């Protein structure tokens, strides 16, 4: 990831926490999204069943991922869709550039695609004289603001109406300041209509790629997805290899989980199923459809039975909406494409722990994300695994995560060894706790760790007698 990375996480967190307006925007937005989602899953039994189904569909698909990808390619090809494989983002960008150049495309209109963010496609195309215009309203706004998305579903959720009104006024000549959401949408719509009609190509992501039928499914609310996939003469879809599902009948359950978890909608406005380029006699649709299948580290994640669960993600963003850390620091603090809980496990696995060293520790393991994930990704378990790897303690040596051991520190290893020596033996435990009861309160607040703690809290007070001591005076047996 060229422009930003995870290394200055703490600096960005600090900035975000100071920005009261940003914090207010997130709090309000996340509270609203949590309420809307909860209303969708009031029936706990239904939620439990649907979620188990969603998990099993994704697990089944992943269990035969290589075969399904081959089947997908065969069926897409049969349908007239051209399939391209990209091992990394450079290859994916080159493939897309090649397609655009062969059609002499100057402007490509884009639907929302996190994979294209992962590729930094827009920046890549710019020096080649190709303009990539975001057509999703949220993406359109962040592109205008020259920012990255701060949420995978709602890219501009960090901004309030006033900030967007000001942005439109500044960047679109002749636009008066208005906080009326309908008017702002109207302005964007007018700008985009012309681009849709003139663009040489459209680019979109993929929500589910169905191996059985060779169908690309695209979920969206604004109609921009339908525009970019039907109006321009060429449509390029990009997706990570984990988005493949086995059968068409797998889609309804996942779709239901996706929309309800993401925005609290029972269903989206548009559900596009793309199965071929325009056929003879058809009035619209692109003449050419391409699919770029991106790996970019996903095979490495796939190789390990434990980390593989990460790839179950259907990109609903519910884990972000429910994360107390994300709610406070916002998406930009993470520095990667995928923020929040899923970002904390996915990004270091794709981009290396050395590039995102703080991600695994930026969680209280409160499990709010685990409770909410519609496909049951064990995010907390994975965070603990990544902490093990970060410290160089990989318990599954055959498939270490990229950048393993990036936070390995001799001092930390020594202190946990000391902690073990104290706690693994009853005698040393008693000696140590006795000493702490007597002297612990004399520790100066300036000690490392304690000073972090006491910056906003009083120093914990050791009791003069431990519970071990007190129970000896009670009518309590020892064994």
Partner 1 sequence: MSRTYPDKPQSVYFFGTCLVDLFYPKAGVAGIELIKREGVDVIFPQGQSCCGQPAFNSGHRDEAREVARAQLDLFPKNIPVVLPSGSCAGMMHKHYPELFEGDRDYDKACELASRVFELSDFLLNVLKVSLEDKGDPLKITWHGSCHSQREMGVREQPKELIKQLSNVELVELKREKECCGFGGTFAVRQPEISAAMVSDKVDDAEATGADKLISGDCGCMMNITGHMEHRSSDLSGQHLAEFLWERTNGDR
Chain positions 309 to 368 lying near partner 1, rule: CB under 8 A, are 324-325, 328-329, 358, 360-368
Among 274, 370, 373, 377, which residue interacts with partner 1 (rule: CB under 8 A)? Answer: 370
Q: Quick one: 3 or 449, whose CB is closer to partner 1? A: 449
Name which of 372, 233, 352, 349 is nearest 301 in CA terms. Answer: 349
| Burial of 398 per CB tally in 10 Å (0-12, 13-18, 19+) | exposed
Minimum Å gap between C-beta 5 and partner 1 is 18
Minimum Å gap between C-beta 34 and partner 1 is 9
Residues 6+ apart with CB under 8 A from 304: 396, 398, 399
Q: Does residue 479 interact with partner 1 by CB under 8 A?
A: yes
Q: Quick one: 253 or 325, whose CB is closer to partner 1? A: 325
Q: Quick one: 80 or 392, whose CB is closer to partner 1? A: 392
Q: Quick one: 303 or 472, whose CB is closer to partner 1? A: 472
Total number of residues that touch partner 1 (CB under 8 A): 72
Footprint (CB under 8 A) of partner 1, residues 62-91: none
**CA dist., res. 328 & res. 25, Å (int):** 10
**CA dist., res. 89 & res. 120, Å (int):** 8
Q: Quick one: 177 or 453, whose CB is closer to partner 1? A: 453
Q: Quick one: 97 or 366, whose CB is closer to partner 1? A: 366
Footprint (CB under 8 A) of partner 1, residues 137-156: none
Minimum Å gap between C-beta 469 and partner 1 is 8
User: What is the pattern of x (binds partner 1, CB under 8 A) and - over residues 9-48?
Assistant: -x--xx--x-----x-------------------------
**CA dist., res. 62 & res. 139, Å (int):** 30
Minimum Å gap between C-beta 432 and partner 1 is 9
Question: For residue 318, what are its two tokens?
Answer: 């519910």
Footprint (CB under 8 A) of partner 1, residues 419-458: 419-420, 422-426, 429, 433, 436-437, 440, 449, 452-458
Minimum Å gap between C-beta 153 and partner 1 is 21
Footprint (CB under 8 A) of partner 1, residues 389-408: 389-391, 393, 395
Q: Quick one: 14 or 185, whose CB is closer to partner 1? A: 14
Helix (H) or strand (E) holding 90: helix 89-102
Q: Report how far apart, in Å, the C-alpha atoms of 297 and of each of 303, 347, 450, 470 are.
A: 10, 10, 39, 55
Q: Give the sheet arrangement for strand 131-134, strand by strand.
A: 81-86, 288-294, 234-240, 201-204, 107-110, 131-134
Minimum Å gap between C-beta 379 and partner 1 is 12
Minimum Å gap between C-beta 444 and partner 1 is 16
Residues 6+ apart with CB under 8 A from 316: 153, 257, 258, 261, 262, 374
Q: Does residue 388 interact with partner 1 by CB under 8 A?
A: yes
Question: For residue 137, what are its two tokens?
Answer: 């309203």
Report the relative pairing of strands 208-210 and 215-220 from DSSP bridges: antiparallel
Q: Quick one: 223 or 440, whose CB is closer to partner 1? A: 440
Looking at residue 359, what DSSP letter applies?
A: G
Residues 6+ apart with CB under 8 A from 174: none
């Amino acid at each position: 990831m060229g422009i930003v990375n995870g290394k200055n996480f703490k600096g960005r967190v600090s900035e975000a926490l100071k920005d009261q307006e940003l914090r207010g925007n997130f709090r309000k937005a996340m509270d609203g999204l949590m309420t809307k989602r909860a209303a969708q899953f009031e029936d706990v039994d239904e939620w439990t069943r649907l979620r188990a189904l969603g998990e099993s569909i994704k697990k089944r698909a992943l269990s035969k991922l290589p075969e399904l990808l081959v089947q997908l390619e065969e069926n897409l090809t049969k349908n007239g869709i051209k399939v391209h494989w990209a091992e990394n983002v450079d290859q994916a960008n080159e493939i897309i550039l090649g397609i655009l150049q062969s059609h002499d495309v100057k402007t490509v209109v884009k639907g929302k695609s996190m994979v294209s963010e992962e590729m930094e496609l827009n920046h890549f195309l710019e020096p080649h004289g190709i303009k990539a215009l975001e057509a999703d309203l949220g993406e359109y706004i962040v592109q205008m603001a020259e920012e990255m998305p701060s949420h995978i579903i709602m890219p501009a959720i960090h901004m309030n109406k006033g900030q967007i009104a000001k942005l439109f006024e500044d960047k679109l000549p002749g636009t008066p300041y208005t906080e009326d959401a309908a008017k702002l949408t109207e302005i964007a719509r007018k700008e985009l209509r012309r681009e849709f009609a003139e663009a040489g190509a459209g680019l979109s992501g993929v929500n589910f790629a169905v191996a059985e039928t060779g169908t690309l499914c695209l979920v969206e609310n604004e109609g921009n997805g339908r525009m970019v996939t039907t109006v321009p003469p060429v449509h390029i879809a990009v997706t990570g290899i984990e988005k493949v599902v086995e059968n068409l009948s797998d889609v309804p359950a996942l779709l239901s989980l996706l929309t309800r978890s993401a925005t609290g909608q029972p269903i989206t406005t548009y559900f596009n199923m793309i199965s071929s380029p325009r056929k003879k006699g058809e009035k619209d649709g692109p003449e050419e459809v391409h699919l770029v299948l991106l790996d970019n580290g996903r095979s490495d994640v796939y190789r390990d039975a434990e980390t593989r669960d990460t790839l179950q993600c259907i990109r609903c963003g519910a884990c972000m909406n429910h994360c107390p850390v994300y709610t406070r620091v916002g998406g930009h603090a993470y520095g990667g494409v995928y923020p929040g809980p899923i970002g904390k496990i996915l990004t270091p696995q794709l981009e290396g722990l050395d590039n995102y060293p703080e991600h695994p520790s930026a969680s209280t393991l409160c499990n709010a994300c685990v409770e909410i994930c519609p496909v049951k990704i064990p995010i907390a378990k994975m965070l603990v695994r990544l902490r093990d790897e970060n410290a160089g303690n990989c318990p599954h040596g055959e498939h270490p995560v990229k950048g393993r051991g990036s936070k390995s520190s001799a001092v930390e290893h020594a202190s946990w060894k000391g902690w073990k020596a104290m706690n693994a033996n009853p005698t040393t435990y008693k000696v140590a706790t006795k000493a702490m009861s007597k002297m612990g309160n004399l520790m100066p607040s300036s000690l490392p760790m304690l000073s972090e703690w006491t910056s906003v809290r009083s120093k914990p007070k050791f009791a003069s007698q431990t519970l071990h001591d007190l129970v000896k005076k009670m009518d309590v047996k020892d064994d």
